[in-house]
Chains A and B, each alone.
Chain A
């Protein structure tokens, strides 16, 4: 049986762990608040830009811009967005499973290339003999639009050189603090919206002209969407970590309560034993 000293030591170390998880939870809460605000402010733009793009795509001839070209999807680029750091529950493992499912599904008909964002994706998928185009570790520490612009441009270049035919993204989309949703999105080629087709007879007046607008709009669309997916992911990550740390703190409390109970019992047992000892000694002395 554990001695009183052992139990006390254990309690102390669990209290230390609990303090750490508590602190991490607080940090995540603060980070989450900031990320959530930035995300909500960004959403109006990020959600409506695709509507604009597809309503143009529905109206114009696809030969107008090389990015609009639709080819059979034989080479697919899959962008996997995970986190750099762990301790956020099933956040990364779910992404990983979904990515593997996606790859298994498409593998027979297409070659798959990967763009790995976040250290967790890199450490996992590099082991597994996949063809990797780009790796972006540590991007979340200081999420800069310029950096995303670069990577978006490299992906666009690959598409224009016909080295890839489509780009898909897997990421966590933030719903609420308690919920984020695994999401798969197609980034390129651009899809038409069916409902717009009827309205499409009335074309826009383009200023200066459709080609010039598309030349500016399409690349910035890809950048903007990619940036948006990353902000969705990082907000989900903070919320996942906050919840994970909250659970860890609660579990530590349960353990502490349990151990305190045991400690008290052991201490009581020792006291009782000592009392019994004293009593027997007294009896023995009296009896003499």
Chain B
């Protein structure tokens, strides 16, 4: 009992698959309004997710996922994240992401010359944020 008290069950699921199901000591979640640190015994909480890093600690190990939008339900003994899209660091192909980044930067150049509408620029910026997060997560792979 003592043992389970210090742990919280973390589950991260996307419509495509389950990414994580693990007992962890601590979770950090990218809430839409800012990062949330969750420890076992947290009060029930419901939040939308933004774009960012979801990280968790078990023992001395810390793992990081890139997540993009969704919802999280926190209960004292469980954290359940419904993620629209998410990827673990080992699933990210750096070369591919860099390629993508290049393309987005080219698009941004075009945008500077006024070739896109404001909504489209917003979409491009969102894509850029995504790519930057992916690169960041991938670089934490070690």
Contact = CB atoms under 8 A, between A and B. Distances in A.
A216 B80 CA distance: 17
Interface residues of B, number: 20
Nearest to B15: A45
A45 B18 CA distance: 8
A40 B107 CA distance: 37
Nearest to A47: B13
Interface in A178-237: 202-208, 210, 212-213, 216-217, 224, 227
A144 to B, nearest CB: 13
Contact of A52 (B14, B32, B33, B82): B82
A49 interface: yes
A217 to B, nearest CB: 6
B15 A46 contact: yes
A187 B63 CA distance: 37
A205 B46 contact: yes
Name which of A42, A45, A55, A213 has the most chain B CB atoms within 10 A of its CB: A45
Contact of A216 (B36, B48, B73): B48
Chain B, interface SS category: strand
Contacts of B82: 45, 48-49, 52
Given A48-B80, A49-B82, A207 B15 contact: no
B15 A42 contact: yes
A207 B47 contact: yes
B44 A208 contact: no
B112 interface: no
B17 to A, nearest CB: 4
A55 B75 CA distance: 12
B71 A208 contact: no
Interface in B8-55: 13-18, 31-33, 36, 43-48
Nearest to A206: B46
A44 B18 contact: yes
Contacts of A49: 82
Given A44-B13, A49-B82, A52-B80, A207 B18 contact: no
B48 A207 contact: yes
B17 A44 contact: yes
A224 B15 contact: yes
Nearest to A223: B15
Given A48-B80, A52-B71, A204-B73, 17 more contacts: A38-B16, A41-B17, A42-B16, A44-B17, A48-B13, A55-B73, A56-B46, A202-B44, A204-B46, A205-B43, A205-B44, A205-B46, A206-B45, A207-B33, A208-B32, A213-B46, A213-B47
Interface of A: 38, 41-42, 44-46, 48-49, 52, 55-56, 202-208, 210, 212-213, 216-217, 224, 227
Interface of B: 13-18, 31-33, 36, 43-48, 71, 73, 80, 82
